[in-house]
Structure 1
Amino acid sequence: MATSAWQSRRSTQLAKAIGPPKNALPETAISAAARSTARKSVSLVRPKRRKREYLAVRASGESFREWVERNLEESYGGYLFDISMAVLGVFMVIFYLVINWNGFVKKNLGWVQDVDFYLNLIFTAEFLLRLYAAHDRLDYMRNPFHFAELLVLLPSWFDFITKVRDGVIPDNAIVEAISGLRPARILRLYRFLEFTTSSLQRQIVAAMLIVVSITISTAGILQVIEDCKTPCLTSPRACGCQSLSMLDYLYFVVVSIATLGYGDITPVSETGKVLIAFIILLTFIVVPIQVNRIAQVISSHTDYSSSYREAKQHPHIILTGYIDADFLTVFFHEFFHPGNLNWNEKVVILNTQPPSVSLKKVLNTVDSKVKYLVGSPMLDEDLNRAVLQDARACYVLVNRNTTRPQYADQCTALITIALRRGNPTCPIYAQVINAQNAPTILRMGATDVVVHGLMKASIMARSCEVFGLTTVIMNLISQPYTELDERQSPIQWQKPYVHGYVHSFYIVDIPRTFSGLTFGDLIRFLYDRTPVIPIGMLTEDGVQLVDMEFKLGATADPNLCCKVYAIAKSMDAVEDVAQVPPEQVLSYRKNMRRKARSAMDLLNEEQMAAERKKIKPALGNEVEKIRQNTINTYTIATASTVLPDDYTFEYEEFATVGVPTSVARHIVVCGFPLDTYQFLKTIREAPPVDDETDSPAVVFLSTSLIDEDEFARIRVFPNIYFVQGSPVHFPDLRRTRLELATSVLILTRAKESTFSDRNMVDADAITTLRYIVEITQRTRMPNVVIELERPSNVKLLSSLANDRRTSTSYTLPTIVSRQLSYRSARRGSGRRDSTPWVPVDAMGDLGTSPIVLEEFVAAGRVYMDVILDSLLSESYRKAWIAPFINVLVNSRPDDPLQRRLFQVEAPDELISLQYGDCFRKLLDVTGCICIGLWRPERGVILPHPCVFVNPPPDLQVEPGDLFYLVGKPFTFGDAQAWWAK
């Protein structure tokens, strides 16, 4: 009790010494408070140490007895007093055992009596002090332990009185019995129960103290009772006494309690026999009770209520918030990937609930690397159990399927504040549902956020026009197993596809030797000599997609030129950049300078100087500047246009009109996205795919209509239509004019709670896809993107594709169109051969590799939350990777050129060229970086479309191939015109 009170008071004193929390919320608006929180939490000034208070100050109206009781229970002085008394109790027991080790000493030496008396005097003063301070003194004396403390004080006082006044206390049986209680001083060891920190620890210590106390006290009392007052000249049994050492009696008591009874030592006095019989019976009762209590505590006390105790040996990160089994599967796959360097780090999960069955299945696969704790991140004691002060990073997770997204984001904000208060410098990565809440959570102390609603809506919207985008992002974000690239596949398309799958995004430190090159020169140099393709740059204003003519300069770091986000095959390739000989860079720089002089008409020196002033490369330690820019980016991105409030007629018209007959080449969406506004905004702000078409119309097919508040946000966008009906009903599907659509997006809106088997959550989406396949049997199949909640259900999609290919009514198309995605017939059976050679040993227990070779994934037609889960997990090792993906998909709001990832059909001049040559030509002519291509199906050779990320340089470009480019968007017509000139 004293210990817990002291620990509570010590935390209060520490908080007072530090001063008010730097990021505590005042009672004003949340956004204003969060702004000051983020600024102040970064720099915590060490306060001047105050003098420790050992005794509490006496309060007004508090009696002296109450003041003494409060100090004994709650003050630091009382804590030290408890420790001192416990240590003296151990010393007294050891002192008694040493004195009587070889036999009972009837008359101690003078110094021994003095030491014993003064120790007993201290314990007497303590007993009287606690008795005086007790709230109810009678109840205090009724306590068995307190009464035992009084009894063990009497022998020393009897000895003292006998020494001072000889004969005052006569020798009789009562006096001898009281003198024999001296070994019972071992009971003072029960003071150590006050220092236990858990119920299990308390029960174990109590059981040990009971056994030790019974053994030592019984051995000591037997030694007194059995001792011969006069020398025994015959056998001990005849004399009724015996003089044995303390070790002999300890051995006898242990053997008797264990009911072994060897018989080599036995009590000879009647009192000793009665005592040992009583002790055996007492042990039979007391010890099983204690063992049963320990078993009960163990059964109710799981390991989830313990603490993380390996912080010094194994650095750790903390996961808290809404813990989901699906997220943990992806997170562990990324975090414990063999290619990562954090092999010594562990994961501490702090959750308010014990793990469910599905969570336990995931935890069992990484049992030695994960510590699961039940507790709340809002409580300091639980954060201390998770050792927040030493954590390398913290993740705040959100329930993505909640029906109250605003409330979920509020919980994320509160947890972020609690974590930032506990550790002012630890990186905090948070999940957010609504983009409007991202700036606030960043101001509250989060280092970076992954806005689930914005990113999901943006990727889905862009995938309707950029074919295969979902697979491009998923493969480049997730950590691959490079063993796949080493296997030989008999299927022709898998070799270039797997070559791209093993590539990922990395942050590459560009050495200072590259200073003076333009960003385009850097790309050319690294592409020719290392398998690394720089895409963007980390600047003081955040992540930017810079111009190809931006000139790399010097920074404050003597070894680094800049940090770039690049596509690379592995960490070995990233490390090879630092090993490039300076002579090669110098020679390349001289050659490029000669070329630059002949091309000065494209960009003069003054313009280059202005560009250098605008962009300042960062080295990664400008956290506050980059975070502030991220806040501004999300603030601008979430700003919406406000129209007049009178929209009742528009809402009714939207709900009843349906799709006009003039609508064609549009996008059909089965369901409503989580963030419909961001979904439509992304489509409307995206660059046109060609010069002849504007932004496509969007038709929503759903059984229920969105509410008026949501409609008020999306009514600013033109050509938005709604059809009320079911996607699994043929007439409703035909009302969307599906046969003329360019893309179809199938959303999963069901909840896992409605199914007995959580893997059935995608049943509606898969059934909808089946109906679309049947409708397009005799015509063409549009670009279909389907959302799946469970990645394991991808294999069912491939089965549907095989059924369509084996249909007798389906024939091979004769042409390949940019706008349409055709499927070709496969001769022979409908055997699924998309994943026959997948190496199981290369996948790992948590790997996602079995699904990456499924043809719907290879074609880029599946969206899964694995993308955003991987993005969040990679934020720890790849700083600002989430803003980089956001810029790649949506561009920066302040970029006048709107650089982003887009798609263009291969111009005629690039057909039949090797991909490496096309990469260089596209970089030289368009100033855009090519990161791969999407290839439509080619009959038996390629039975389905396929995404090739950074394919081998010798891959031949074919008609109908679509390039993935990063830079200022342009159309196919622009490309044809440039090459014609």
Structure 2
Amino acid sequence: MFNQVLILICTLLCLVFTGTCGIQHLERAGRNRLSLFNALYFCIVTFSTVGFGDVTPQIWPSQLLVVVMICVALVVLPLQFEELIYLWMERQKSGGNYSRHRAQTEKHAVLCVSSLKIDLLMDFLNEFYAHPHTQDYYVVILCPCEADSQVRRVLQIPLWSQRVIYLQGSALKNQDLLRAKMDDAEACFILSSRNEADRMAADHQTILRAWAVKDFAPNCPLYVQILKPENKFHVKFADHVVCEEEFKYALLALNCLCPATSTLVTLLVHTSRGQEGQQSPEQWQRMYGRCSGNEVYHIRLSDSMFFREFESKSFTYAAFHAHKKYGVCLIGIKREDNKMILLNPGPRHLMAAGDTCYYINITKEENSAFTVRQETHHRKKQRNSNILNSPSELPVHSIIASMGTVAMDFQNNSPTGNTAKLAPPSENGPENRRTSIAPVLEIADSASLLPCDLLSDQSEDETAHSDEDVPSVYECVKGYPPNSPYIGSSPTLCHLLLNKAPFCCLRLDQACEHVSFEEAKAYGFKNKLIIVSAETAGNGLYNFIVPLRAYYRPRRELNPIVLLLDNLPDEHFLEAISCFPMVYYMVGSIDNLDSLLQCGVLYADNLVVVDKESTMSAEEDYMADAKTIVNVQTMFRLFPSLSIITELTHPSNMRFMQFRAKDSYSLALSKLEKKERDKGSNLAFMFRLPFAAGRVFSISMLDTLLYQV
């Protein structure tokens, strides 16, 4: 750009200088000699096409020179201006440079992506700038593709144009990393393109970008998103790594055990003011919208009014009484001398003054306003009040409690017609509640877990050998899975078969020398089935099985798992799952009714439909979910009592799940969603019944998890 401007200026100077000197020299032969200044004045007026006419050449040689100079100018100058405009437009596309002076005096973060869509951009910007500490940061986007029209329009909005800089370039080129001043950046986010036809190739690109950034700027904090779990160990050096498939399958499995787990996590990792639905006439929407404002905060125990009274008490005692007294949910702690965060360390952990407490609440403790007098008054009020008949009447402030209540309602009620209402949770009754689900226990050091009394289920051990409901072929022990399908999977204590099942016995739809059954009905399972429909048995599917076979689940409550796959799994995957009890697979598709009946859809409690990789990209945006949505709608019509949990590529398509065109309640929720979107909510879809009940999930909703670290 500088060279072209210099050439243009030099060309103009040469033309003016040549014309001025030539005309002044030739006019010496005429009657009226021109001075050098008058000759310069004549050239400027002539080249600017003004032509006052007060100074003119008098003899034909100078007039001929003027004609020649004008012709040269008409040819040379437009070419130079065209080249300058072209370079200017290219510079606008590539974004130029982020200046070194700004990089050293201001804070900036770099976002590296393969392609940038408007949804991804807005999710990142809304979450990144939600925290008050990042308001003065600049975001430099480094993308090899040219910004599309939608992205350009958004970046022209004054709110973003002053803080977001788009650079077209590759993270593998040191010149482009230098343009983005990566070595001075406060953070670098590297995102994978989940809409690629080959997701493994997308991961390979992400790995190379991470290596290039680490080589160029080794001190820059790195936050990486990876798709396939087997590729995670390549970027283990990054400060934070979020693996999509690993996280996705674990959440889908927990949805089968505890409804709306994915909804709880989604609301937790989205920034919300808790103002959604506050104008709604329905009580559940007001409570649900307010509790969506819960976030995860941390504070040192010695500095906390919530937790300092529980010093030297057990973690379980502190968590229970903190929630009972203040409405906060204590989820984990971090020792002063340990960098690892312990989630729910159990009753053996004693709270110390130096512990950092992680808790869920509407606002952080520093912003809370309460006094001891108000607390005493609240206690008296509780003592004098009558016993509440419904959990929905409780003064719930925790997202855990509220989401559990709402999810139970939605799982047991499907409003239809004009008078559809949500029944209160008390109608379910204690006898109709789900069987007890033990809390997930996460310990950083698994070795310390073994001698713990929590491992012993005395009531189960006493009846393990006398239980006639469990066939002897499924005799189980507790231990760590001997085979992992990929490097880097964390060992988890699970229920395992005493002897591995032969590969032939894992296939549900074909008889073998050991088992003569060819359909789920013939097996006579005592518990309801969990069916997973997926295109291929990827390594991430292993993370779906592990939570459902975790050691803390009672052996009698283990649900049989049937993997309905479009393609045959490989032997490595079969080797990994052959140690788990009651895990089967069959080749088929949800398009085929015979396949569904053969895998036991009539005896299933949950059907999980995983988004197929081959349909994630479509010519028209948001059409990638079309086939999945129609197939799920068909099953919803055929099997209305079946709990179908669906994964979608685009969160906006969840409004089509369990679609009822003439249902007044659904139409009212649609209007509520539009109102919340007009108010600027990032969670406008939260009031859709399928999402609130945990029946639909999109991994792209959890991209915010990486943005918030």
Q: 2:649 aligns with which of 759, 783, 789?
A: 789
1:373 to 167, 177, 182: 167
> Relative to structure 1, is the Cα distance of residues 475 and 304 closer, same or farther in structure 2, using a 3 angstrom cutoff?
same
- Aligned partner of 2:216 in structure 1 is 422
Q: How do 1:784-863 and structure 2 match up within 5 A? A: 784-800=644-660, 832-838=667-673, 840=675, 847-863=681-697
Tell me how far 1:855 sits from its aligned partner: 0.7
Cα offset, 1:429, TM superposition: 0.5
Amino acid aligned to 1:862 = V
Q: State the SS of the aligned residue for 2:330.
A: strand
Equivalent position of 1:211 in the other structure: 12
Per the TM alignment, residue 839 of structure 1 is displaced from its structure 2 partner at its CA by 6.4
Q: Distance in 2 between matches of 1:644 and 1:295?
A: 74
Determine which of 673, 682, 698 is the counterpart of 2:547: 682
Give the one of 385, 389, 401 matched to 2:183.
389
In structure 2, the residue corresponding to 1:860 is in which secondary structure? Answer: coil
Residue of structure 1 aligned with 2:624, choices 748, 761, 779: 761
Q: In the alignment, is the contact (CA less than 8 A) between 1:478 and 1:870 conserved in 2?
A: yes
**2:558 counterpart SS class:** coil
Q: 1:718 to 1:346 in 2, by over 3 A?
A: same
Which amino acid counterpart does residue 291 of structure 1 have in structure 2?
Answer: F
Aligned mates of 1:242, 1:433 — CA distance in 2: 78
2: distance between equivalents of 1:359 and 1:280?
A: 44
Match of 1:159 in 2: none
Deviation at 1:850, TM superposition (A): 2.1
Residue 472 (structure 1) shift: 0.5
Give distance in 2, aligned partners of 1:224 and 1:642. 106
Aligned position for 2:261: 469
- Counterpart-to-counterpart distance in 2, 1:513 and 1:756: 54
Give aligned-pair identity as a percent.
22
TM-score by length of 2: 0.71
Q: Distance in 2 between matches of 1:651 and 1:696?
A: 15
The DSSP-based 3-state class of the residue aligned with 2:49 is coil
2:240 aligns to what?
A: 448
Instruction: Kindly indicate whether the alpha-carbon contact (under 8 Å) linking 1:530 and 1:576 is maintained by their aligned counterparts in 2.
Output: no
Tell me the CA shift for residue 293 of structure 1: 2.6
Question: Secondary structure of 1:464's partner?
Answer: helix
Q: CA deviation at 1:356?
A: 4.9
Partner residue in 2 for 1:504: 295
| Matching residue's letter, 1:206 | I
Shift of 1:350: 1.6
2:552 partner SS: coil
Aligned ranges for residues 636-715 of structure 1 at < 5 Å?
Answer: 636-637=490-491, 649-650=504-505, 657-659=518-520, 660-663=522-525, 664-671=527-534, 674=538, 675-685=540-550, 687-688=552-553, 693-715=556-578
Closer/same/farther in 2, CA of residues 649 and 568 from structure 1, 3 Å limit: closer
For 2:284, the aligned partner's letter is W
Please give the secondary structure, in 2, of the residue aligned with 1:471.
helix
Larger radius of gyration: 1
Distance between the aligned counterparts of 1:773 and 1:798, measured in 2? 7
Rounded to whole Å, the distance in 2 between the matches of 1:453 and 1:753 is 14
What CA deviation, in whole Å up to 9, does each residue of 1:188-211 have, x standing for no partner? xxxxxxxxxxxx443233222212
Spell out the pairing of 1:495-534 with structure 2 (5 A cutoff): 495-508=286-299, 512=303, 517-518=310-311, 532-534=328-330
Partner SS, residue 739 of structure 1: helix
Map 1:307-706 onto structure 2 (within 5 A). 307-309=97-99, 311=103, 315-325=107-117, 326-337=119-130, 340-356=132-148, 366=160, 368-400=162-194, 402=196, 405-443=199-237, 446-484=238-276, 487-508=278-299, 512=303, 517-518=310-311, 532-539=328-335, 540-545=338-343, 546-547=345-346, 550-553=349-352, 561-570=354-363, 573-576=364-367, 634=488, 636-637=490-491, 649-650=504-505, 657-659=518-520, 660-663=522-525, 664-671=527-534, 674=538, 675-685=540-550, 687-688=552-553, 693-706=556-569
TM-score by length of 1: 0.53
State the superposition RMSD in angstroms.
4.0
Alignment check: 8 A CA contact 2:329 2:359 kept: yes
Distance in 2 between residues matched to 1:638 and 1:272, nearest whole Å = 95
> Are the structure 2 counterparts of residues 533 and 831 from structure 1 closer, same or farther at C-alpha, using a change threshold of 3 Å?
closer
C-alpha distance in structure 2 between counterparts of 1:705 and 1:698, whole Å:
16
Mapped to 1, the partners of 2:550 and 2:609 lie a distance apart of: 22
Taking the aligned partners of 1:484 and 1:841, their CA distance within structure 2 comes to 7
Give the aligned partner of residue 283 of structure 1.
Answer: 73
Deviation sequence 1:341-381 (CA, Å, 0-9, x none): 42232322222222456766766675554322222211110
Question: Matched residue of 2:669: which SS?
Answer: coil
3-state SS, counterpart of residue 319 of structure 1: strand
Seen in structure 2, the aligned counterparts of structure 1 residues 330 and 655 have a Cα distance that, compared at 3 Å, is: farther
Contact 1:334 1:874 in 2 (8 A): yes
1:87-102 pair list within 5 angstroms: none
- Residue type at the aligned position of 2:125: F
CA distance in 1, matches of 2:149, 2:53: 55
The 8 Å contact of residues 503 and 578 in structure 2, kept in 1 or not, is answered as no
Query: How far did 1:321 drift?
Result: 4.0
Distance 1:639 1:492, change over 3 A: closer
Distance (Å, rounded) in 2 between the aligned partners of 1:549 and 1:645: 34
Pick closer, same or farther for the CA change 1:522–1:707 going to 2, 3 Å. closer
Preserved CA contact (<8 Å) 1:750 1:762: no
Q: Distance in 1 between matches of 2:606 and 2:696?
A: 13
What amino acid is aligned across from residue 341 of structure 2 in structure 1? V
How far residue 552 of structure 1 moved from its aligned partner, in angstroms, is 4.8
Following the alignment from structure 2 to structure 1, what is the Cα–Cα distance between the partners of residues 189 and 560?
Answer: 39
Evaluate the alpha carbon distance shift between residue 509 and residue 667 of structure 1 in structure 2; reply closer, same or farther with a 3 A threshold. Answer: same
Shift, 1:275, TM fit: 3.8
**1:697 and 1:719 in contact (8 A); partners too:** yes
Residue-pair matches, total: 578
Aligned with 1:304 (options 67, 70, 94)? 94
Cα pair distance change 1:413/1:503, threshold 3 Å: same
2:580 to 708, 717, 722: 717
State how far apart, in whole Å, the 2-side matches of 1:441 and 1:460 are. 25
Structure 2 gap segments, 5+ residues each: 376-444, 450-486, 512-517
CA contact (8 A) 2:274 2:293 kept: yes
Q: Are 1:736 and 2:599 matched, yes or no?
A: yes
- Quick check: 2:225–2:241 contact (8 Å CA) kept in 1? yes
Query: Residues of 1 paired with 2:192 and 2:582: CA distance?
Result: 34
Shift of 1:673: 6.0
* Equivalent residues in 2 for 1:933-952, closer than 5 Å: none
> Superposition pairs for residues 115-194 of structure 1, below 5 Å?
none
Partner amino acid for 1:342? T
| Residues 288/348 of structure 1: CA separation in 2 closer, same or farther (3 Å cut) | same
Shift of 1:698: 0.5
Partner residue in 1 for 2:42: 252
Change (3 A) 1:311 1:302: same
* SS of 1:398 mapped into structure 2: coil
Equivalent residue of 1:348, what SS? strand
